[in-house]
Amino acid sequence: MSLPHMLSYAGLAAVYALIAAALVLAGMALARRTLERRAWPALVLVLFLIALALHPFPDPATFDCRTQAVVPKFVPLRWLDTIAELRALGAPPAAWLQDLMVASTVMNLVLSLAIGATLAPLRLGTGAVLMFGLCLSLGIEVAQLTGLFGVYGCPYRQFDVDDLILNVGGIVVGYCAVRWRYRSGAM
């Protein structure tokens, strides 16, 4: 995956997330509800993660499950094999970032850490953050596994157990790190 491709992919996901956040804001205004200002960064990042995980959407009229279905990955920690292969080949750092497995693993982890960090000011318990992370990530992965809950006859995006592990772990670690900083008086 080239840098321009990654940037355009992330840029489109950001547009989707901002549109969805605006729709949430409009819906809340219609319902005469408000969302705490400190919750907005978490909402936008969660919507960004969802958009990254589910787009691009294939054209249902031309999508063919016989030739375009994606095989799920149920074996955990496969990204470690990719890193070992790149190290064994002596691949330069640019090759690492262009590798889809490495790039998506890093992107998942960084985004999950950021989501966890934005949840910290909301003063949720660690258990609630763990459950939120698990439900969010499992919802995304099930959507991928089921072809967007049946919109497509087969998966068009790849279910990956590593995404589930990294997303939940990243959210909890990001939350705990920022909460620890709050408690230590550094923030």
pLDDT for 127? 97
In degrees and rounded to multiples of 5, residue 27 shows phi and psi of -65, -40
Quick one: which of 106, 103, 107, 115 has its CA closest to 173? 115
**Per-residue pLDDT tens listing for the chain (187 residues):** 677 877 888 899 999 999 999 999 899 999 998 888 899 999 999 999 999 999 888 998 899 999 998 999 999 998 889 889 998 999 888 888 788 888 888 889 999 999 999 999 998 999 999 999 999 999 999 999 999 999 999 999 999 999 999 999 999 999 999 998 877 776 6
Task: Say how many residues make up the chain.
Answer: 187
Task: Work out the number of other CB atoms within 10 angstroms of the CB of residue 183.
Answer: 9
Is the separation of the CB atoms in 165 and 112 below 8 Å?
A: no
Q: Report d(CA 160, CA 52) in Å as an integer.
A: 14
Are the C-beta atoms of residues 80 and 142 closer than 8 Å to each other? no
DSSP helix/strand/coil, 94: helix
Which pLDDT value is given to residue 186?
63
Q: Positive or negative, the Cα torsion across 182, 184, 185, 187?
A: negative
Report cis status (omega within 30 of 0) of the bond before 56. yes
Report the 10 Å Cβ neighbour count for 40.
14
pLDDT of residue 187: 60
- d(C-alpha 84, C-alpha 89), whole Å: 9
pLDDT digit string, tens, across residues 24-74: 989 999 999 888 889 999 999 999 999 999 988 899 889 999 999 899 999
CA–CA separation, 158 and 35 (whole Å): 33
